[in-house]
């Protein structure tokens, strides 16, 4: 990335920290860049500033971003061989160091959706029994992702998620529910899930077993050191650490020792106990006492390889060996002088206060790695100085001061540290490459799971489409039945219509059926031929509105009277002759016969008018 891109990227991380409380500064930058780039590509954005503007406008995008950054790849009994070694080595060792009834505390850091926490619960329940598990075990599962923690708290998983759980454990520890299987409620109370940021929040203390599998690999080296120190503090003494296959603790051998390095099982190392040095006694203190020492003791003191000085209880120089004489330019005439008047009392270190402290506490006081730049020497010397109270018959008789030259050891240690730093750097590079590879594998696995989810969604959509197809097929069958019924009815109706048409044709030359409003209901083919008006033009129209050659002024009053009268009008109009004109304009005298159109209950609801053409004389 360019400098401008890095600045915009840092601004984006700052926005996440200020608005949502997620501090990703300790995470590996390359991983964050890759994950955020996926969101930019999905949203068709070009740079981080555009994405930041989108986050401010659409807060729901934060959820999709965190789902991308917080990769929740986990499963039951993940890396089964490692879990088997945990059951064979760590769990027995953990139980051996615990007395009967003593509580067992477990922390699953970065638990995601909870499969890891429930897995260790099943392992401990198998070892302790159900009652022992309920009475002694407490398991804490923590993560940053609240959405994943909700799934963990619910403890409900589908068949695909439980595929790696042995069938006997599934039947023992899971109960069927509507949408899958849930972990047993009586054991579920021993598991507590909550949010914990490993980079800032305080760790859970007094933990006997800590699981952080493939969690450290997302952090940079500095943050990993910080988190490992927190893990060391969280574990009891001794406690066990279970990591993922990409994490090796190469740079933390002072805090953890491997139980099974290949399976990433480690044990906490106890803090070293530094005891006090044994005091050097049996040396005369005053000058007169030195004269009474055996010759061998005097020679041994004088020729010792370590510079030594003895100060009596009065604070005067009592003894000095040849090594100290050469180192501090002392001579026999200085014996008996007040120690505070000598240069050695304040160079290479301020010894007067140290002597007073040792006198009051009656215990040795050590000064480590005191650097002294001597005049005339090209390099500084490094000394370990010990001030030891000298007791005789339970009474303080003087103070012995030892100057141990550790310059050569300091150089060797510096060279060793430099070599170790180079080795650690190589280890870190190897660890970083290994973690990058594992992170890529995690992302590939996450992508694979996303593809599997997409495949399942497509399968579900296909099933829905198949269901809709079957529903449409069923509807089509019903419509076919209805169509068949309508076809049958149409055939019957056609037969009825032909019959009625035949009847109508048989009644007279022209037949017209009228409703109560004298609107045309039936207009026979004879009427079409006689008046030249088609049936579709006449049906539904008032008879008085048709332009036909009937003298309607004579006929209409009779029609109305027939409707109102209710008696059979045939007698009233029998022999009624109308002077009509046919469609060709020629006179066509007609006889008209009327009858009522009745319903089944004998109610009149129209008239039937039958017209016959009179034969005319030639």
Over residues 233-286, the pLDDT tens digits come to 999 988 999 998 877 776 677 888 889 888 889 999 876 543 333 333 333 344
Cβ-defined contacts of 6-13 (< 8 Å, 24+):
8/47, 8/48, 8/49, 8/52, 9/33, 9/36, 9/48, 11/48, 11/49, 11/52, 12/36, 12/48, 12/51, 12/52
pLDDT (tens digit per residue) in 179-233 = 899 999 999 999 999 998 888 888 888 999 999 988 888 888 888 888 999 999 9
- pTM across the whole model: 0.50
Confidence of residue 123 (pLDDT cuts 50, 70, 90): very high
Please tell me the predicted confidence (pLDDT) of residue 408.
83
Q: What percent of the chain has pLDDT over 90?
A: 20
pLDDT confidence of 141, banded at 50, 70, 90? Answer: very high
Which tokens sit at 252? Answer: 């933390």
* Contact of 231 with 203, CB cutoff 8 Å: yes
Contact present, 222 and 52 (Cβ < 8 Å): no
Contacts of 451 (CB under 8 A, 6+ apart): none
Residues 128 and 189: their CA atoms lie apart, in Å, by 16
Which of the four pLDDT bands, split at 50, 70 and 90, describes residue 533? confident
pLDDT in tens, 394-420: 688 888 898 888 888 888 888 888 888
First to last CA, the chain: 117
Average pLDDT value over all residues in the chain: 83
| Mean pLDDT, rounded, for 536-545 | 89
Q: What is the pLDDT of residue 302?
A: 60
**pLDDT tens per residue across span 475-507:** 787 788 899 899 999 999 888 888 888 887 788
Q: What is the largest CA-CA distance in the chain?
A: 191
């Amino acid at each position: 990335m360019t400098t401008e891109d890095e600045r915009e990227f840092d601004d984006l991380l700052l926005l996440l920290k200020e608005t949502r409380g997620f501090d990703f500064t300790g995470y590996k930058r390359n991983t964050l860049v890759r994950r955020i780039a996926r969101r930019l590509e999905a949203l068709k954005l070009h740079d981080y500033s555009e994405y930041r503007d989108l986050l401010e406008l659409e807060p729901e995008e934060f959820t999709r971003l965190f789902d991308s950054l917080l990769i929740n790849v986990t499963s039951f009994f993940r890396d089964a061989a490692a879990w088997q070694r945990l059951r064979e080595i760590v769990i027995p060792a953990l139980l051996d160091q615990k007395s009967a009834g003593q509580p067992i505390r477990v922390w699953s850091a970065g638990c995601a959706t909870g499969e890891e926490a429930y897995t260790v619960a099943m392992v401990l329940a198998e070892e302790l029994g159900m009652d022992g598990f309920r009475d002694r075990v407490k398991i804490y599962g923590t993560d940053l992702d609240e959405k994943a923690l909700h799934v963990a708290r619910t403890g409900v998983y589908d068949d695909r998620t439980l595929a790696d759980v042995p069938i006997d454990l599934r039947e023992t520890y899971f109960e069927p529910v509507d949408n899958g299987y849930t972990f047993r409620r009586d054991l579920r109370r021993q598991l507590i899930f909550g949010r914990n940021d490993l980079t800032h929040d305080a760790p859970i203390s007094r933990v006997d077993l800590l699981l952080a599998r493939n969690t450290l690999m997302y952090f940079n080296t500095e943050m990993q050191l910080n988190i490992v120190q927190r893990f060391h503090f969280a574990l009891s003494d001794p406690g066990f650490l279970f990591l993922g296959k990409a994490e090796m603790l190469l740079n933390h051998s002072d805090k953890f020792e491997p139980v099974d390095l290949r399976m990433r099982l480690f044990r906490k190392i106890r803090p070293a106990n530094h005891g006090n040095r044994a005091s050097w006694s049996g040396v005369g203190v005053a000058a007169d006492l030195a004269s009474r020492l055996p010759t061998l003791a005097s020679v041994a003191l004088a020729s010792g390889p370590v510079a030594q000085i003895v100060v009596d209880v009065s604070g005067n120089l009592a003894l000095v060996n040849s090594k100290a004489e050469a180192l501090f330019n002392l001579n026999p005439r200085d014996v008996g002088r007040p120690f505070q008047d000598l240069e050695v009392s304040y160079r290479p270190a301020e010894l007067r206060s140290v002597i007073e402290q040792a006198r009051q506490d009656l215990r040795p006081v050590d000064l480590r790695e005191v650097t002294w730049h001597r005049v005339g020497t090209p390099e500084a010397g490094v000394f370990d100085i010990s001030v030891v109270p000298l007791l005789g018959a339970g009474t303080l008789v003087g103070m012995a001061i030892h100057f141990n030259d550790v310059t050569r050891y300091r150089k060797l240690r510096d060279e060793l540290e430099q070599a170790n730093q180079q080795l650690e750097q190589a280890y870190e590079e190897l660890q970083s490459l290994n973690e990058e590879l594992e992170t890529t594998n995690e992302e590939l696995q996450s992508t694979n799971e996303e593809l599997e989810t997409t495949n399942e969604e497509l399968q579900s959509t296909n099933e829905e489409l198949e269901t809709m197809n079957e529903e449409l097929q069923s509807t089509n069958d019903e419509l076919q039945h209805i169509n068949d019924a309508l076809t049958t009815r149409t055939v019957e109706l056609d037969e009825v219509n032909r019959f009625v048409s035949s009847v109508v044709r048989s009644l007279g030359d022209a037949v017209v059926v009228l409703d109560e409003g004298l609107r045309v209901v039936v207009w026979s083919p004879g009427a079409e031929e006689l008046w030249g008006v088609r049936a579709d033009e006449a049906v539904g129209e008032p008879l008085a509105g048709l332009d036909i050659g009937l003298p309607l002024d004579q006929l209409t009053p009779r029609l109305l009277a027939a409707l109102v009268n209710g008696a059979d009008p045939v007698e009233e109009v029998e022999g009624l002759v109308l002077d009509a004109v046919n469609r060709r304009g020629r006179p066509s005298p007609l006889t008209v016969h009327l009858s009522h159109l009745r319903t089944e209950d004998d109610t009149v609801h129209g008239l039937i008018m039958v017209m016959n053409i009179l034969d005319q004389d030639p």
